[in-house]
Amino acid sequence: MADKNMTTMSDRNLQSITTSQRVKSILGKAGIYLFLGIMALIVLFPFYWMIISSLKNLSEYRKAIPTFWPHEIQWINYVNAFNTANLGRLFLNTLYVGVVSTILSVIITVITAFAFARLEFKGKELLFAMLLATMMIPGELFTITNYITVVNWLEWGNTFTALIVPFLVSVFYIYLLRQNFLQIPNELYLAAKVDGTSDIKYLWKVMVPLALPTLISITILKMMGAWNTYIWPKLVTTDKEYELITNGLRNAFTDTSGQADIPKQMAAVAIVSAPLFLVFLFLRKYIMAGVSRSGIKG
Amino acid sequence: MVESKQQWKAWLYLAPAILLLLVFTVWPIINTVSMAFQEDYCAQRALMGETYEIGIENFKKVLDYGNFVDYLTNTMILCVATVPISTILALLIAVALNSIKTLQKGLQTIFFLPYVTNSIAIGMVFAAMFNVIGFRKAGGEALADSWGIINNVIMFFGGKPVDWIGANSSLAANRFVVMVYSVWNALPFKILILLGGLQSINKQYYDAARVDGTPRARVLTKITIPLLSPMLAYVVITGFIGGFKEYSSIVGIFGDTMGPNDMNTMVGYIYKALSTQKQGAASAAALILFGIILVVTLINLRVSKKRVHY
């Protein structure tokens, strides 16, 4: 009798503990979702504000009580922004610099990484260590001399060459791809050699396909770099004909005060941001993989 | 024979990279150091044969005159304020993301979005959000068409509107705007790295803690943070390095004029000196920046050596 009583009591205790624990864990989960939801809204808010502001007319934008959805959608802001900042020209310039520098840069990265990963030569380890050491130095230190080299000596001021050539070699990309190449078994290379396959054919048919994810990451980051670069183009190009998108945007809308035509500015900003978002939408995996290993922006 | 053929081939493959690195990486290191120690070096006049006295005058001038020290202080304040805030926020978000299953991928994508932006372009959006719109003074009384969305939120909660970035704004207000933008900008990278770290922690630690009935907060401080410490050290170090090189996000908000209170930074100083043909001063400033980054990184590594568990 007493025994029976004991068991039912402990059963009841156990039950109340599990329900209280369950309530606690549900509340905890709800708290986590609430926190993440609020943070996500804060993170997204600037994008939302950019888009709705870009669709308002000036008088609606200046209303004392802000509207959270435009009364009358003003697509004309986008047309005006496109024409004011001459965005078509800027897009073409940036695309040209981005594509040419990405292609050349990827070729150089592939052959250099191949040499470091597969070929034997004197001083290989030392040379590679020296390359890695240069990554510690902030880019500003190079920029000063490169400016003199490019503008005063090579006389490349106001050319696309000046925007492309100094940044073709990225030690970090070489390092990344070499690590990737090293994972491919050397036996494949030796077998190809026995068959009389040339290095270039082997690279193209075996190494490149196997390292494709890394190469895609490199390509996207390099293109994004061209899209976001600001300081170097500003230094070496003064001619509007060679202006890149970021500089063009900043130069076309110098006034950030409240008196400016903000809806038009926001439309321009949205146009400039759109390609980045589209690329991100489709190639998210590669971008995030590349970024998590590099820690660099552009 | 195969050996020597490989040698020859290897150097052929390396040639383009080595040539470009010699011109645009190795030479700049040598030349920038040499310019820094030549008094008032100017590249244009040097090309015409002018010579300069050797010494540390450039460093003295950079530190004594001009606004370099102001810019240095400015950069330091931004770094010291934003790195801890963004790291803690990123840690909380990463831990929260790691503990859920539904919507994890979607939320992760949202939190990464600020990374894929153009810092000048989004700086303009932040300027628009903080701006007082159509500001005018009427009979000594300040009036505005609209106080701007951020001020609207502040007033909604009963606060007073602030002139954040306008012509009469204060330095503190300007700094606040830059800090908010920097934190927003720094979150995605930190969340990505920390979440990656969290997902590689062995689940057994958490199972053991659950068996012992360890409270959530204790799990965080005793298991998660110690095991995550290498990643935390990494995001703090890269955060400081990025913070010391802050420039284009400020140009995004304030434009080239850097706002009413001159919010310029060290990198901005270097470019200003460079574009006004004062390469000696620019080089000296760049070496000082390099020195500061090196020291801060070493301090961080030292501190983390004591605290980081591998």
How many domains, chain A?
2
CB pairs under 8 A between A and B: 272
User: Quick check: is A50 in a domain?
Assistant: no
What confidence tens digit (pLDDT) does each residue in A5-59 have? Answer: 555 555 556 566 677 778 888 888 899 999 999 999 999 999 999 999 999 988 8
Enclosing domain of residue A135: 78-294
Given a contact cutoff of 8 angstroms between Cβ atoms, the answer to whether A295 and B238 are in contact is: yes
pLDDT, tens only, A108-130: 999 999 999 988 888 899 999 99
- Range with lowest mean pLDDT among A166-180, B133-147, B178-192, B265-279: B133-147
pLDDT at B309 over 70: no
pLDDT digits (tens, 9 = 90+) for A202-247: 888 888 998 998 899 889 888 888 888 999 999 999 888 899 999 9
Q: In a 3-state reduction of DSSP, which class is residue A208? A: helix
On whether residue A193 sits in a domain, the answer given is: yes
Q: Choose the closest CB to B134 out of A62, A111, A119.
A: A62
User: Does residue A217 lie in a domain region?
Assistant: yes
Domain that holds residue B197: 67-131+166-307
pLDDT digits (tens, 9 = 90+) for B28-37: 999 999 999 9
Q: Same domain for A168 and A266?
A: yes
Checking if the pLDDT of B253 tops 50, the result is yes
Residue B149's SS3 state is helix
B281 three-class SS: helix
Please indicate, yes or no, if residue B126 is contained in any of the structural domains: yes
Residues A173 and A286 in one domain: yes
Q: Is residue B18 part of a domain?
A: no
* Average confidence (pLDDT) over B221-230: 87
Total domains in the fold of chain B: 1
Residue A93 and residue A38 share a domain: no
Our CA-based measurement puts residue A141 at a distance from the nearest CA of chain B, in whole angstroms, of: 5
Q: Mean pLDDT, chain B, as a whole number?
A: 87
Q: What would the two tokens of residue A274 be?
A: 């759109």
Task: Give residue A251's pLDDT band: very low, low, confident or very high (50, 70, 90).
Answer: confident
Is the pLDDT reported for residue B310 higher than 60?
no
Residues of A in contact with B29 (CB under 8 A): 134, 137, 141-142
- Identify from B118, B241, B295 which residue to disrupt to test chain A contact, counting A C-beta atoms within 10 A and taking the largest count: B118
Q: How far is B102 from chain A (nearest CA, A)?
A: 10
Q: Are residues A252 and A196 in the same domain?
A: yes
Read off the pLDDT of residues A161-176 as tens digits, 9 standing for 90 and up.
999 999 999 998 999 8
Within a domain: residue A69? no
- Is-contact B71 B172, C-beta < 8 A? no
Identify the residue whose tokens are 């568990």: B309
What is this model's ipTM?
A: 0.88
Helices (H), chain B: 2-21, 27-36, 43-47, 57-64, 68-98, 104-112, 119-130, 149-156, 171-199, 203-212, 216-219, 225-244, 248-254, 266-275, 279-307
Question: What's the average model confidence in pLDDT over A130-158?
Answer: 89
Question: Are A157 and A82 in the same domain?
Answer: yes
How many Å apart are CA A174 and CA B31, to the nearest integer?
A: 25
